[in-house]
Amino acid sequence: MRGQDSFRRLRRPEWKAVAAGLLVFVATASLAQMAQQTVPQLEGPTPSMKTGAAMPLPKWIVDDKRKMRAYPDQPPIIPHSIEGYELSVNANRCLSCHKREFTQDSGAPMISVTHYMTRDGQMIADVSPRRYFCTACHVPQADTPPLVPSEFKDMSELGFKPAGSE
């Protein structure tokens, strides 16, 4: 009976605190349910399960002309087809032409010296493992319209001249 006595011993201020706590809990729960119903979906309507025709694959530009970059520090695009190139942990066909020691014979541009650096800026003798998978940054150019219009202008278009040209 002691448990019942302690329950009966709650004073009026304590009952008020318990009742206020329950009221806050119930009010918060009901507001949360109302907010869920009034907040619009951010990703739009739920897509139907229908399947439609696939868009045709884009035609790759394979003219071997180097393209202008669309923004500063953009990795250069690949101006030739890479279909059938092996790019795995065991082999990287890109390096057979673009690695430092093969560029003179192949005529391909050498990969940047930054590809021979560790994360800490230390120069190493071979391509850094974090730069080994070329297509993580470099992509072939497709003949497609841009998704977003670009107003990027190169420094030379803005009137700036290279250092030492004056």
pLDDT in the model for residue 93: 92
pLDDT in the model for residue 6: 55
| Percentages of the chain per state (helix, strand, coil), in multiples of 5 | 35, 5, 60
pLDDT in the model for residue 28: 83
pLDDT in the model for residue 25: 85
Structural domain boundaries in the chain: 9-38, 59-143
Cβ atoms of 137 and 69 closer than 8 Å:
no
The CATH number of the domain covering residues in 59-143: 1.10.1130.10
* Spatial distance between the Cα atoms of 15 and 21, rounded to a whole number of angstroms: 10
pLDDT in the model for residue 139: 87
Which pair of structure tokens corresponds to residue 134?
């070329």
The model's pTM is 0.54
pLDDT in the model for residue 39: 58
pLDDT by position in tens, the chain (length 166): 455 555 556 667 777 888 888 888 888 877 777 665 665 566 677 667 778 888 888 888 878 777 777 777 889 888 888 888 888 888 999 999 999 889 899 888 899 899 999 999 999 999 998 899 999 999 888 888 878 887 877 777 777 776 666 6
* Spatial distance between the Cα atoms of 152 and 98, rounded to a whole number of angstroms: 28
* Rounded-to-10 torsion of CA 92, 93, 95, 101: 130
